[in-house]
Amino acid sequence: MTDDSLLPFDLPAVCRKKVTAAFDGGLISSDGGLVLLRETERRLGLADLLAGCLRDRRDPALVTHTLSEMLRFRMLAIACGYEDADDCDSLRFDPLFKLAVGRAPESGHELCSQPTMSRLENMPSRIEAARMTAALVDSFCRSFPQAPATITLDIDDTCDRVHGLQQMSLFHAHHDTRCFLPIHVYHVESGKPVVVFLRPGKTPSGREVRSVLKHLVRRIRRHWPRTRIVFRGDSHYGRPEAMAWCEDDGVDYIFGLPGNTRLNALAAAVADDLKMRRAEAGPRRCGPSPASPMPPSRGAANATSSPAWKPQPTASMPATSSPRCLETPGTSTRTSIASAARPRT
């Protein structure tokens, strides 16, 4: 048999000591990916960026763990799947976690414990939390070499299940659990995260959605005043307050709408026409013909910006000169409304 041996490779030094990755035993850790996460965080500078938003109220003479080290330790632990602060009591001695934070694996001082980490998580004030949120948006904007002409941002809330009676945790009937519903915003073209807002476990109201969009857009426009901004979201964000603000401030949007009787009536004639065409085409042609329209379903609104579908003139639905939107008489819509997601409570 061939006796293969893996060559070691070097990494950036820590505390003026050479760091080499090898696979021949010695001081072992199960989280080898930390060396790569450490380099990613070091290039982005997230820990130092967020630490600059906080005021350290501790006595400097008694400080053993800096804010940057604790934030870096917490972020890397979560990235490795250790989401509870209780895990810090064991991970504080892990050689790779010590290396990732910037301490020597063997001779370096151990990292902070769970009580110290819990005090850090409860330390930021409301203003400092807002500063950290704005810093994340600034980091996203600085990741581009130049201002883009247009950016599309996906906005959605995600169920974050909790145990116990934590602050802001509520029972959500759709997810059938107690949870938070943080709002996530991602850049569609690159997949980069923009910002996350921690919030209670309930569906956001129209005023809350408007507030989130307003603060996010204003922060982005501090870096890119001429960039066109487009938001995409499901029916949680297709609120009159949010859409009215977007139209007044020159922000485009593609929001879903839950089904209702008026929209169902507008779509009924086109849906019936499509059913007749499919029935006449026979069982082998289950899809519409190239010349037939693509209507929305009966249960949801589905106005689309694609020119492949155009509403047909009927007695209950007037023809529109633009295939981008369905307009109600007496109103003006800047952008289109995408197909709605399943209504949630």
- Confidence band, pLDDT 50/70/90 cuts, at residue 4: low
Chain mean pLDDT for the chain: 80
pLDDT for the residue numbered 185: 96
* Residue 280 burial class via C-beta count within 10 angstroms: exposed 0-12, middle 13-18, buried 19 and up: exposed
Backbone angles phi, psi at 13, to 5 degrees: -70, 155
- Token pair in block for residue 337: 């409304």
* Domain extent listing, the chain: 9-121, 126-255, 257-345
The pLDDT of 142-166, averaged and rounded, is 91
Each residue of 200-213: pLDDT tens digit?
Answer: 999 999 999 999 99
Instruction: Give the distance, in angstroms, between the CA of residue 307 and the centroid of all CA atoms in the same chain.
Output: 29
Q: Where are the alpha helices (DSSP H) in the chain?
A: 34-44, 46-51, 67-79, 88-91, 95-101, 114-121, 126-142, 206-223, 240-248, 261-281
- Confidence band, pLDDT 50/70/90 cuts, at residue 15: confident
Has residue 287 got a pLDDT over 60?
no
pLDDT for the residue numbered 20: 75
* Residue 221 burial class via C-beta count within 10 angstroms: exposed 0-12, middle 13-18, buried 19 and up: middle
The pLDDT of 71-81, averaged and rounded, is 93
Each residue of 307-336: pLDDT tens digit?
Answer: 444 444 444 443 333 334 344 444 433 444
Other Cβ atoms within 10 Å of 64 Cβ, number: 11
Asked which of 185-189, 222-226, 267-271, 299-303 is least confident by mean pLDDT, the reply is: 299-303
- Confidence band, pLDDT 50/70/90 cuts, at residue 341: very low
pLDDT for the residue numbered 162: 87
- Token pair in block for residue 120: 């850090």
pLDDT for the residue numbered 174: 86
> Considering only CA atoms, which of 128, 134, 115 is closest in space to residue 57?
128
User: What whole-number percentage of the chain has pLDDT above 90?
Assistant: 46
Has residue 86 got a pLDDT over 70?
yes
- Token pair in block for residue 278: 């499919």
- The dotted CATH code for 126-255 is 3.30.420
The pLDDT of 246-267, averaged and rounded, is 88
Pairwise CA distance, residues 67 & 81, whole Å: 21
Q: Which residue has the tokens 């940057």?
A: 68
Asked which of 135-149, 257-271, 276-290, 299-313 is least confident by mean pLDDT, the reply is: 299-313
Has residue 267 got a pLDDT over 50?
yes
pLDDT for the residue numbered 6: 57
Asked which of 60-64, 69-73, 240-244 is least confident by mean pLDDT, the reply is: 60-64
Contacts 24+ apart (CB under 8 A), 179-184: 181/157, 182/157, 182/158, 183/155, 183/156, 183/157, 183/212, 184/155, 184/156, 184/157, 184/158
Each residue of 127-140: pLDDT tens digit?
Answer: 999 999 999 999 99
SS3 143: coil
Has residue 260 got a pLDDT over 70?
yes
Q: Measure the CA angle with vertex 24, ends 108 and 35; round to 5°.
A: 50
User: What whole-number percentage of the chain has pLDDT above 70?
Assistant: 77
